[in-house]
Amino acid sequence: MMAAVVIGQTPTPPVASPVPAASVQPAQAPPAATPAAPVAPDGENGPPASNAQAGVGESQIRTGYQTAEATRGALDGRWRLSLDGGQVLYVFQFSDSGGAPDPRATTPMSPQVEGAWRDMRRPDGLNASGMFETVRRYGANITIVFDEGDPPQPQTLTLQPLGSAWTGDLSIAGVRTRVTMTRE
């Protein structure tokens, strides 16, 4: 299409031809799908049984969980550090992948034992929780270093396995205290 320009006049834009009203139809939503009525497992009408009621999937879920737990390291989980008299000093949460690659670890392809601590003598206090500086294995023994207090003081925990628990010393500023760590 070409537009002609007359000197002294403003050019007019071309005008589109009108569309007949009969050819324009409002958009219609597709018809809503009618949900199928639930069918009970025995073919009767009624809601379907849950997986637990039908016994479907429960054993597979348990097996999958147990398989995943079996690949985790010995420290994985929640632990309580107590004085020999029973007073709880700290609660620890460890992530121990057992040396296998772990996408949740700080270094996924060579994961170390990682974790956090909480001082149970002052659970609501400032600086009453934090992350471990290091968790190192020396044969069957472990050494855990973390900073606690205000100002923060390094604390070193040296533990040896004793059955299902760990026993050893907590060293704070050179003072050693006998402690036991048990799984919660």
pLDDT at 10: 59
> Which has the higher per-residue pLDDT, 118 or 68?
118
Q: What does the pLDDT look like over 72-125, one tens digit per residue?
A: 778 889 999 999 889 999 999 998 887 777 777 777 776 788 999 999 998 888
Encode pLDDT of 31-63 as tens digits: 666 655 555 555 556 665 665 565 657 777 777
pLDDT of residue 171: 96
Find where tokens 């956090």 sit.
116
In this prediction, residue 19 carries a pLDDT of: 54
The whole-number pLDDT of residue 47 equals 62
Question: What's the CA gap between 105 and 92, in Å, rounded?
Answer: 17
pLDDT digits (tens, 9 = 90+) for 139-178: 899 999 999 877 888 999 999 999 999 999 999 999 999 9
pLDDT band at residue 182, thresholds of 50, 70 and 90?
A: very high
Interval 4-17: pLDDT, tens: 555 655 555 555 55
